[in-house]
Amino acid sequence: MNQPDPKISAAPPIIRQLDDAAINRIAAGEVVERPASAVKELVENALDAGARRIEVSYADGGKTLIRVSDDGCGIAPDDLPLALSRHATSKIDGSDLLNIHTFGFRGEALPSLGAVGRLTITSRAQAHDAAEVAVSGGEMSGVKPAALNAGTIVTLRDLFHATPARLKFMRTDRAEAQAITDVVKRLAMAEPFVGFTLRDVSGGGEGRVTFRADPETGDLFDALHGRLARILGTEFAENALRIDATREGLQMRGYAALPTYSRGSSVAQYLFVNARPVRDKMLYGALRAAYHDFLSRERHPAAALFIECDPTLVDVNVHPAKSEVRFRDPGLARGLIVSGLRHALAEAGHRASTTVAGATLGAMRPEPTGAPRVYQMDRPSAQARAASYQAQAPGFADMQSEWSARVEPTVTEDATPEAPPREDLPLGAARAQVHENYIVAQTADGMVIVDQHAAHERLVYEKLKHQMDENGVTSQALLIPEIIEMSEGDAARLLELSDDLARLGLHIEGFGPGTIAVRETPAILGQCDARALVLDILDELADQGDSLTLRAHIEAILSRVACHGSIRSGRRMQAEEMNALLREMEATPHSGQCNHGRPTYVELKLADIERLFGRT
């Protein structure tokens, strides 16, 4: 404690002007965090140059070599030294820092890379000869002629050789290569009409292609669908809903997967703003909120969403990495995502993902082939042999009432038979009930197996939510109002939402500076901790800018009510009841999954069933 502070010297501190090399190395710490950051900056420059094909090569996870080649407009020889100067860019003129139409605009990437690595730029612009310039550790060489047909090749070797301390923070070659792949795939999603090739040249030679995406054709949605199928897989493309929504100058396009096609983590969530990949907490929260009523807590949706808007409505100059954005009206962007996704999910109706059927077929295994040894105890009894012979006799039709599980139209005395259910409907006609829980229905080209309890639980839940939206939530007055103290800013934020909370049965009002009085709570919650509920809402407002806590609590109770009020497992149903359940599922949105995101039915095509029995 008695030792002098080493940061305090006897002499007064002197203010010094840092040289350009030190400034560039400091800037590189913000812009270039790892090899993937360098790849991102260079590929974005290629896209801004109008490239239609881009090839990225790397060695040793990008630590020893990164090379980005493109067929863009190129750089004139006289402009090459200027391109390596700080804050020199062709993207903006500096008069308006909000009207940004390009990926890059800060003019920091190339000089930062040249300050921490060995950078070489070879480029040829139209009507100019090819030229090359190199910079190593901030020291630039002169411009010299080069051989190149068109475009630009940027080669970065020995990243962070000028700042060896940064090399200690690098991860393994495999981890860095995976980060580079993720960056290229995200940019490839944003530009479906541009071809991308990623090549690992570790060890020299041509290397091996680790990722390739050829330019897509067609309109925007067709091209995007093809590119997402290439990157995220055909299963995502087959089970994704087309999203196209607009609200007050913001447009959202893309694809979002069905709730039954969910993931165990958020790795399949991709968000873009004006084609720029972003990792924005508010936007991810909106995506989670749109699915909160269809997925359990441990499951996550899969989506690739692109928000387009006037550049003046969003600020991308929040961080040098440009991965964060700030909307002028965050609530508008959040509302667009939630409403757009919920509308698309409602239009999907009872649809469930095809992966459910695939998992079902995969769970089926044929019996072992060959003639297994028959033990005495396995030999059929005389009664079993007699029943088998009778079933094979010409009079087998007479045994249907005893042996068949087929559902037939009900016939009563002095009445005509009911019209048989139609098999051409989406969920077909009920044919049997097995284990008093599963309905087997026949469709025009296959069969459907329905979990009667899960399906009816979802139907009852949707009815309860519809009644709540129409009639509101009944509230109960507190005998003694709950007085909650907080900061004046938090109180003001809550009071702004007082009308929305009142529609959900929670009535609050101001009770002095920084104080909220809770006078009524939702009756369906019973005896609840009003203070804890209000503080949870406040925390969610601070974290995401909006709160679904109260509605989530109410809907959780409605879900439990629907579970107890639905058809129980083990109940035998009549043919009319089973077909009525199928028709109601077809007419009810979100009936393809239960309240926890599990599928309510499995559809098997006739071709798949025939393949199981080797009939193809």
Q: What pLDDT, on a 0 to 100 scale, did the predictor assign at position 15?
A: 78
Q: pLDDT band at residue 342, thresholds of 50, 70 and 90?
A: confident
Find the helix or strand (DSSP H, E) in which 327 lies: strand 326-327
Q: What pLDDT, on a 0 to 100 scale, did the predictor assign at position 364?
A: 60
Most confident range (mean pLDDT) of 9-18, 157-166, 319-328, 363-372 is 157-166
Residues 6+ apart with CB under 8 A from 221: 242, 244, 253
Q: What pLDDT, on a 0 to 100 scale, did the predictor assign at position 68?
A: 95
**What's the distance, CA 117 to chain centroid?**
35
CATH topology of domain 20-211: Heat Shock Protein 90 (3.30.565)
Q: Cα dihedral sign for 294, 506, 478, 489?
A: positive
Mean pLDDT of the chain: 79
Query: What confidence tens digit (pLDDT) does each residue in 286-298 have?
Result: 898 888 877 777 7
Dihedral, 510, 514, 519, 523 alpha carbons, nearest 10:
120
Q: Which is higher by pLDDT, 524 or 355? A: 524
Q: Does position 401 have pLDDT exceeding 50, yes or no?
A: no
Q: What pLDDT, on a 0 to 100 scale, did the predictor assign at position 4?
A: 57
Question: How would CATH label the architecture of 349-362+418-616?
Answer: 2-Layer Sandwich (3.30)
Q: What pLDDT, on a 0 to 100 scale, did the predictor assign at position 272?
A: 93
Query: What confidence tens digit (pLDDT) does each residue in 140-190 have?
Result: 888 899 899 999 999 999 888 777 777 778 889 999 999 999 999 999 999
Q: What percent of the chain has pLDDT over 70?
A: 76
Please give the single-letter amino acid code of residue 551.
Answer: R
Q: pLDDT band at residue 398, thresholds of 50, 70 and 90?
A: very low
Q: What pLDDT, on a 0 to 100 scale, did the predictor assign at position 566?
A: 67
Q: What pLDDT, on a 0 to 100 scale, did the predictor assign at position 65?
A: 94
Query: What confidence tens digit (pLDDT) does each residue in 199-234 have?
Result: 999 988 888 999 999 999 888 899 999 999 999 998
Cβ(305)–Cβ(338) under 8 Å? no
Tokens of 303: 């989506």
Q: pLDDT band at residue 577, thresholds of 50, 70 and 90?
A: confident
Q: What pLDDT, on a 0 to 100 scale, did the predictor assign at position 270?
A: 94
Q: pLDDT band at residue 351, thresholds of 50, 70 and 90?
A: low
**CA-to-CA distance for 545 and 508, rounded, in angstroms?**
19
Is CATH 3.30.230.10 the right assignment for the domain spanning 220-348? yes
Please give the single-letter amino acid code of residue 496.
Answer: E
Q: What pLDDT, on a 0 to 100 scale, did the predictor assign at position 400?
A: 41
Domain with CATH 3.30.1370.100 in the chain: 349-362+418-616
Average pLDDT over residues 440-468: 84
Q: What pLDDT, on a 0 to 100 scale, did the predictor assign at position 550?
A: 63
Average pLDDT over residues 556-567: 66
**Of the given ranges (306-315, 430-439, 527-536), which has the lowest mean pLDDT?**
527-536
Output the pTM of the full model.
Answer: 0.71
Angle at 244 between CA 261 and CA 472, to 5 degrees: 75
Q: Does position 399 have pLDDT exceeding 80, yes or no?
A: no
Q: What percent of the chain has pLDDT over 90?
A: 20
DSSP, res 263: B
Domain with CATH 3.30.230.10 in the chain: 220-348
Find the helix or strand (DSSP H, E) in which 556 lies: helix 549-565
**CA-to-CA distance for 194 and 156, rounded, in angstroms?**
23
Tokens of 220: 């925007």
Cβ(356)–Cβ(602) under 8 Å? yes
Q: What pLDDT, on a 0 to 100 scale, did the predictor assign at position 96?
A: 55
Cβ(254)–Cβ(243) under 8 Å? yes
Query: What confidence tens digit (pLDDT) does each residue in 76-119 have?
Result: 898 888 888 776 666 665 555 666 667 766 667 788 888 888 99
Domain with CATH 3.30.565.10 in the chain: 20-211
Q: Does position 307 have pLDDT exceeding 90, yes or no?
A: yes
Alpha carbons within 13 A on the beta-carbon side of 268: 23
Q: Does position 371 have pLDDT exceeding 70, yes or no?
A: no
Q: pLDDT band at residue 328, thresholds of 50, 70 and 90?
A: confident
Q: 3-class secondary structure for 298-315?
A: CCECCEEEEEECCHHHEE
Q: What pLDDT, on a 0 to 100 scale, did the predictor assign at position 193?
A: 94
Q: Facing residues of 58 across strands?
A: 66, 200
Query: What confidence tens digit (pLDDT) does each residue in 265-288 have?
Result: 888 899 999 988 988 888 888 898
Q: How many CB atoms lie within 10 A of CB 162?
A: 20
Q: Does position 405 have pLDDT exceeding 50, yes or no?
A: no
Cβ(349)–Cβ(589) under 8 Å? yes
**CA-to-CA distance for 115 and 135, rounded, in angstroms?**
8
Most confident range (mean pLDDT) of 268-277, 280-289, 375-384, 452-461 is 268-277
Average pLDDT over residues 31-47: 88
Q: Cα dihedral sign for 305, 308, 311, 314?
A: negative
Q: What pLDDT, on a 0 to 100 scale, did the predictor assign at position 320?
A: 64
